[in-house]
Protein backbone atom coordinates (compact mmCIF):
# COMPACT_ATOMS: atom_id res chain seq x y z
CA UNK A 1 0.00 0.00 0.00
CA UNK A 2 1.22 3.49 -0.75
CA UNK A 3 0.27 6.54 1.28
CA UNK A 4 -0.07 9.91 -0.43
CA UNK A 5 -1.13 13.24 0.99
CA UNK A 6 -1.66 15.35 -2.09
CA UNK A 7 -4.23 15.31 -4.87
CA UNK A 8 -1.66 15.19 -7.70
CA UNK A 9 -0.12 11.95 -6.35
CA UNK A 10 -3.57 10.42 -5.80
CA UNK A 11 -4.59 11.29 -9.38
CA UNK A 12 -1.34 9.88 -10.80
CA UNK A 13 -1.82 6.54 -8.99
CA UNK A 14 -5.47 6.29 -9.99
CA UNK A 15 -4.67 7.15 -13.63
CA UNK A 16 -2.01 4.42 -13.65
CA UNK A 17 -4.44 1.84 -12.15
CA UNK A 18 -7.10 2.78 -14.69
CA UNK A 19 -4.57 2.45 -17.52
CA UNK A 20 -4.00 -1.11 -16.26
CA UNK A 21 -7.73 -1.72 -16.73
CA UNK A 22 -8.57 -1.69 -13.01
CA UNK A 23 -11.86 -0.55 -11.52
CA UNK A 24 -11.35 2.01 -8.77
CA UNK A 25 -13.02 1.63 -5.35
CA UNK A 26 -13.11 4.40 -2.74
CA UNK A 27 -13.66 4.12 1.02
CA UNK A 28 -13.89 7.61 2.56
CA UNK A 29 -13.24 7.68 6.33
CA UNK A 30 -12.27 10.07 9.07
CA UNK A 31 -9.76 7.55 10.43
CA UNK A 32 -9.49 5.95 13.87
CA UNK A 33 -10.43 2.80 12.03
CA UNK A 34 -12.30 -0.14 13.56
CA UNK A 35 -13.75 -3.38 12.21
CA UNK A 36 -16.66 -1.47 10.62
CA UNK A 37 -14.25 0.49 8.40
CA UNK A 38 -12.28 -2.62 7.52
CA UNK A 39 -15.50 -4.28 6.35
CA UNK A 40 -15.91 -1.33 3.94
CA UNK A 41 -12.44 -2.00 2.53
CA UNK A 42 -13.19 -5.70 2.07
CA UNK A 43 -16.41 -4.88 0.24
CA UNK A 44 -14.65 -2.31 -1.95
CA UNK A 45 -12.11 -5.01 -2.81
CA UNK A 46 -14.92 -7.27 -4.05
CA UNK A 47 -16.00 -4.57 -6.50
CA UNK A 48 -12.72 -2.97 -7.53
CA UNK A 49 -9.17 -4.06 -8.37
CA UNK A 50 -7.66 -0.83 -6.99
CA UNK A 51 -8.91 0.25 -3.58
CA UNK A 52 -8.33 3.75 -2.25
CA UNK A 53 -9.15 4.66 1.36
CA UNK A 54 -9.11 8.24 2.55
CA UNK A 55 -8.47 9.41 6.10
CA UNK A 56 -9.48 13.01 6.60
CA UNK A 57 -11.16 14.62 9.60
CA UNK A 58 -13.26 17.09 7.68
CA UNK A 59 -13.64 20.41 9.53
CA UNK A 60 -16.49 21.44 7.22
CA UNK A 61 -18.88 18.88 8.71
CA UNK A 62 -18.32 19.76 12.39
CA UNK A 63 -20.38 22.42 14.16
CA UNK A 64 -18.71 25.09 16.33
CA UNK A 65 -19.37 23.20 19.58
CA UNK A 66 -18.64 19.72 18.28
CA UNK A 67 -15.67 17.40 18.71
CA UNK A 68 -13.42 18.44 15.79
CA UNK A 69 -10.43 19.13 18.04
CA UNK A 70 -10.70 15.99 20.12
CA UNK A 71 -11.71 13.65 17.26
CA UNK A 72 -9.17 10.77 17.50
CA UNK A 73 -6.37 10.97 14.93
CA UNK A 74 -4.48 7.67 14.74
CA UNK A 75 -2.90 7.68 11.30
CA UNK A 76 -0.09 5.17 11.95
CA UNK A 77 -2.52 2.57 13.33
CA UNK A 78 -4.97 3.30 10.48
CA UNK A 79 -2.21 2.81 7.95
CA UNK A 80 -1.30 -0.61 9.42
CA UNK A 81 -4.94 -1.76 9.44
CA UNK A 82 -5.54 -0.64 5.86
CA UNK A 83 -2.39 -2.35 4.69
CA UNK A 84 -3.44 -5.59 6.42
CA UNK A 85 -6.91 -5.30 4.83
CA UNK A 86 -5.37 -5.20 1.35
CA UNK A 87 -6.00 -1.54 0.57
CA UNK A 88 -3.86 -0.27 -2.34
CA UNK A 89 -3.61 3.43 -1.57
CA UNK A 90 -4.22 5.58 1.49
CA UNK A 91 -5.02 9.22 0.79
CA UNK A 92 -4.38 11.25 3.94
CA UNK A 93 -4.46 14.92 2.99
CA UNK A 94 -3.96 17.93 5.23
CA UNK A 95 -6.73 20.48 5.71
CA UNK A 96 -4.87 22.96 3.46
CA UNK A 97 -4.55 20.34 0.71
CA UNK A 98 -8.32 19.82 0.80
CA UNK A 99 -9.26 23.47 1.33
CA UNK A 100 -6.38 25.56 -0.09
CA UNK A 101 -8.41 28.78 0.12
CA UNK A 102 -9.79 27.97 3.57
CA UNK A 103 -13.15 26.50 4.51
CA UNK A 104 -15.07 29.79 4.66
CA UNK A 105 -15.01 30.40 0.90
CA UNK A 106 -15.33 26.73 -0.08
CA UNK A 107 -18.10 25.97 -2.62
CA UNK A 108 -20.73 23.82 -0.88
CA UNK A 109 -22.85 20.95 -2.05
CA UNK A 110 -26.27 20.75 -0.47
CA UNK A 111 -29.00 18.12 -0.54
CA UNK A 112 -31.45 20.37 1.27
CA UNK A 113 -34.57 18.23 1.76
CA UNK A 114 -32.83 15.19 3.19
CA UNK A 115 -30.33 17.21 5.19
CA UNK A 116 -32.70 19.35 7.23
CA UNK A 117 -34.25 16.71 9.52
CA UNK A 118 -33.13 14.08 12.02
CA UNK A 119 -29.35 14.57 12.50
CA UNK A 120 -29.50 17.65 10.27
CA UNK A 121 -31.90 19.39 12.67
CA UNK A 122 -29.46 19.23 15.57
CA UNK A 123 -26.29 19.51 13.45
CA UNK A 124 -26.99 22.43 11.06
CA UNK A 125 -24.55 22.46 8.14
CA UNK A 126 -23.26 18.97 8.93
CA UNK A 127 -24.61 17.26 5.82
CA UNK A 128 -23.57 20.13 3.52
CA UNK A 129 -20.02 19.82 4.87
CA UNK A 130 -20.12 16.04 4.50
CA UNK A 131 -21.59 16.11 0.96
CA UNK A 132 -19.03 18.73 -0.06
CA UNK A 133 -16.03 16.69 1.07
CA UNK A 134 -17.42 13.46 -0.40
CA UNK A 135 -17.99 15.28 -3.68
CA UNK A 136 -14.40 16.55 -3.60
CA UNK A 137 -13.07 13.06 -2.80
CA UNK A 138 -15.11 11.66 -5.69
CA UNK A 139 -13.62 14.27 -8.05
CA UNK A 140 -10.11 13.58 -6.76
CA UNK A 141 -10.21 9.77 -6.84
CA UNK A 142 -12.79 9.34 -9.65
CA UNK A 143 -13.96 5.99 -8.29
CA UNK A 144 -16.26 3.57 -10.10
CA UNK A 145 -17.64 2.45 -6.76
CA UNK A 146 -17.65 3.91 -3.25
CA UNK A 147 -18.57 2.14 -0.01
CA UNK A 148 -20.14 3.74 3.08
CA UNK A 149 -21.46 2.30 6.34
CA UNK A 150 -25.20 1.96 6.88
CA UNK A 151 -24.69 3.05 10.47
CA UNK A 152 -24.76 6.60 9.11
CA UNK A 153 -28.06 5.90 7.40
CA UNK A 154 -29.05 9.51 6.71
CA UNK A 155 -25.54 10.25 5.43
CA UNK A 156 -25.85 7.35 2.99
CA UNK A 157 -29.25 8.67 1.82
CA UNK A 158 -27.76 12.15 1.29
CA UNK A 159 -24.84 10.69 -0.70
CA UNK A 160 -27.15 8.56 -2.85
CA UNK A 161 -29.32 11.63 -3.57
CA UNK A 162 -26.26 13.74 -4.42
CA UNK A 163 -24.95 11.11 -6.83
CA UNK A 164 -28.36 10.76 -8.47
CA UNK A 165 -29.09 14.51 -8.64
CA UNK A 166 -25.64 15.41 -9.99
CA UNK A 167 -25.43 12.47 -12.43
CA UNK A 168 -22.23 11.11 -10.93
CA UNK A 169 -21.23 7.81 -12.60
CA UNK A 170 -20.43 6.14 -9.28
CA UNK A 171 -22.00 3.05 -7.75
CA UNK A 172 -22.74 3.61 -4.06
CA UNK A 173 -22.71 0.57 -1.77
CA UNK A 174 -24.11 0.59 1.76
CA UNK A 175 -22.31 -1.78 4.13
CA UNK A 176 -24.25 -3.35 7.04
CA UNK A 177 -23.34 -2.00 10.47
CA UNK A 178 -20.72 -3.91 12.43
CA UNK A 179 -21.63 -4.30 16.11
CA UNK A 180 -20.04 -5.21 19.41
CA UNK A 181 -21.29 -8.44 21.04
CA UNK A 182 -23.86 -6.49 23.07
CA UNK A 183 -25.30 -4.83 19.95
CA UNK A 184 -23.64 -1.42 20.16
CA UNK A 185 -22.80 -0.15 16.68
CA UNK A 186 -19.04 0.31 16.30
CA UNK A 187 -18.09 3.97 16.10
CA UNK A 188 -14.94 5.98 16.60
CA UNK A 189 -16.91 8.05 19.12
CA UNK A 190 -17.49 4.98 21.38
CA UNK A 191 -13.97 5.64 22.65
CA UNK A 192 -15.29 8.76 24.43
CA UNK A 193 -17.65 6.69 26.62
CA UNK A 194 -16.86 5.95 30.26
CA UNK A 195 -17.83 2.53 31.69
CA UNK A 196 -21.32 3.63 32.82
CA UNK A 197 -22.11 5.26 29.49
CA UNK A 198 -20.74 2.25 27.58
CA UNK A 199 -23.05 -0.04 29.57
CA UNK A 200 -26.07 2.16 28.74
CA UNK A 201 -25.35 2.58 25.03
CA UNK A 202 -26.64 -0.84 23.76
CA UNK A 203 -30.11 0.25 24.92
CA UNK A 204 -30.40 2.10 21.61
CA UNK A 205 -30.21 -1.03 19.45
CA UNK A 206 -32.41 -2.97 21.92
CA UNK A 207 -35.04 -0.22 21.64
CA UNK A 208 -34.98 -0.31 17.84
CA UNK A 209 -35.36 -4.08 17.88
CA UNK A 210 -38.28 -3.93 20.32
CA UNK A 211 -40.02 -1.35 18.13
CA UNK A 212 -39.43 -3.34 14.94
CA UNK A 213 -40.80 -6.47 16.62
CA UNK A 214 -43.89 -4.56 17.76
CA UNK A 215 -44.48 -3.28 14.21
CA UNK A 216 -43.93 -6.72 12.73
CA UNK A 217 -46.34 -8.04 15.34
CA UNK A 218 -49.07 -5.70 14.06
CA UNK A 219 -48.53 -2.38 15.89
CA UNK A 220 -49.61 0.44 13.55
CA UNK A 221 -49.90 3.32 16.02
CA UNK A 222 -46.43 4.63 15.29
CA UNK A 223 -46.85 7.86 17.25
CA UNK A 224 -47.81 5.98 20.41
CA UNK A 225 -45.01 3.46 19.88
CA UNK A 226 -42.45 6.24 19.46
CA UNK A 227 -43.73 8.09 22.52
CA UNK A 228 -43.43 4.98 24.70
CA UNK A 229 -39.89 4.23 23.59
CA UNK A 230 -38.77 7.87 23.71
CA UNK A 231 -39.77 7.77 27.38
CA UNK A 232 -37.76 4.58 27.95
CA UNK A 233 -34.61 6.14 26.46
CA UNK A 234 -35.13 9.48 28.22
CA UNK A 235 -35.56 7.64 31.54
CA UNK A 236 -32.41 5.55 31.07
CA UNK A 237 -29.77 8.20 31.63
CA UNK A 238 -29.21 8.80 27.92
CA UNK A 239 -30.37 12.18 26.57
CA UNK A 240 -32.57 11.57 23.55
CA UNK A 241 -32.15 13.71 20.45
CA UNK A 242 -34.65 11.90 18.23
CA UNK A 243 -36.30 8.52 17.74
CA UNK A 244 -38.25 8.27 14.52
CA UNK A 245 -39.87 5.73 12.21
CA UNK A 246 -39.34 6.58 8.54
CA UNK A 247 -39.94 5.08 5.12
CA UNK A 248 -36.61 3.43 4.35
CA UNK A 249 -35.65 4.96 1.00
CA UNK A 250 -37.22 8.46 1.06
CA UNK A 251 -36.75 9.00 4.82
CA UNK A 252 -40.16 10.72 4.99
CA UNK A 253 -42.23 9.96 8.12
CA UNK A 254 -43.61 6.42 7.85
CA UNK A 255 -47.21 5.71 6.96
CA UNK A 256 -48.91 2.66 8.43
CA UNK A 257 -48.94 0.95 5.02
CA UNK A 258 -45.27 1.53 4.12
CA UNK A 259 -43.46 -1.78 3.63
CA UNK A 260 -39.80 -0.80 3.96
CA UNK A 261 -39.10 0.98 7.21
CA UNK A 262 -36.15 2.34 9.10
CA UNK A 263 -36.16 3.39 12.73
CA UNK A 264 -33.48 5.95 13.49
CA UNK A 265 -32.22 7.13 16.84
CA UNK A 266 -29.73 9.68 18.14
CA UNK A 267 -28.97 10.16 21.82
CA UNK A 268 -26.26 11.61 24.00
CA UNK A 269 -24.32 9.62 26.58
CA UNK A 270 -22.79 12.51 28.49
CA UNK A 271 -21.45 14.73 25.71
CA UNK A 272 -21.07 11.87 23.23
CA UNK A 273 -23.63 11.75 20.47
CA UNK A 274 -24.53 8.18 19.46
CA UNK A 275 -26.61 7.22 16.43
CA UNK A 276 -28.08 3.94 15.30
CA UNK A 277 -30.80 2.61 13.03
CA UNK A 278 -32.66 -0.55 12.08
CA UNK A 279 -33.95 -1.22 8.56
CA UNK A 280 -36.65 -3.84 8.19
CA UNK A 281 -39.66 -4.96 6.23
CA UNK A 282 -42.97 -4.26 7.96
CA UNK A 283 -45.16 -6.93 6.45
CA UNK A 284 -45.77 -10.04 8.43
CA UNK A 285 -46.98 -13.27 6.86
CA UNK A 286 -50.46 -12.42 8.21
CA UNK A 287 -50.40 -8.98 6.53
CA UNK A 288 -49.47 -10.51 3.20
CA UNK A 289 -52.28 -13.05 3.43
CA UNK A 290 -54.92 -10.29 3.88
Q: Give the x-and-dash track for 130-159 against ligand PAF (CB under 6 A).
A: x--xx-----------------x--x----
CA separation for the pair 79, 100 (Å, rounded): 24
Q: Binding string, 239-268, against ligand PAF, x = CB under 6 A?
A: ------------------------------
Q: For ligand PAF, which stretch binds (CB under 6 A), given 24-32, 171-179, 193-201, 276-284? A: 24-32
CB-based contacts of 276: which residues, under 8 Å, 6+ apart? 151, 177, 185, 204, 205, 208, 264, 265
Note if 37 is an active site residue.
yes
Closest CA to 235 of 247, 245, 243: 243
E-strand spans in the chain? 2-4, 24-29, 50-55, 89-91, 145-149, 171-175, 239-247, 260-269, 272-281
Least distance to ligand PAF from the beta carbon of 7, Å? Answer: 16
Output 119 or 211, the one with its CB closest to ligand PAF: 119
Residue of 34, 37, 47, 126 marked active site: 37
Among 58, 142, 197, 272, binds ligand PAF (CB under 6 A): 58
Under a CB-based contact definition with an 8 Å cutoff, are residues 184 and 239 in contact? Answer: no
Shortest separation between residue 68's beta carbon and ligand PAF, angstroms: 12
Q: What is the DSSP string of 123-186?
A: STTHHHHHHHHHHHHHHHH--SEEEEETTSHHHHHHHHHHHHHTT---EEEEEPPPB-TTSPBP
Instruction: From 184, 121, 137, select the one nearest 11 (Cα to Cα).
Output: 137
29 binds ligand PAF (CB under 6 A): yes
Mask for 88-127, x = binds ligand PAF (CB under 6 A): ----------------------------------------
Interacting span for ligand PAF (CB under 6 A) from 27-35, 41-49, 221-229, 243-251: 27-35
Say whether residue 30 binds ligand PAF (CB under 6 A): yes
Q: Which residues are catalytic?
A: 37
Q: Residue numbers of the site for ligand PAF (CB under 6 A)?
A: 28-30, 58, 61, 130, 133-134, 152, 155
Amino acid sequence: MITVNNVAALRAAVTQARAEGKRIGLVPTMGNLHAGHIALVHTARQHAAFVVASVFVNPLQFGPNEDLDKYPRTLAADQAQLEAAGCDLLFAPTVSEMYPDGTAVQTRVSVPELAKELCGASRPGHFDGMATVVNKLFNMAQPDVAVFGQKDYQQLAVIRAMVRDLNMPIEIIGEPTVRADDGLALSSRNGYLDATQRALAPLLQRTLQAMAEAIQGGERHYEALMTRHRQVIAGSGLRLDYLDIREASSLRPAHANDEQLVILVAAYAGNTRLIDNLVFERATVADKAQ
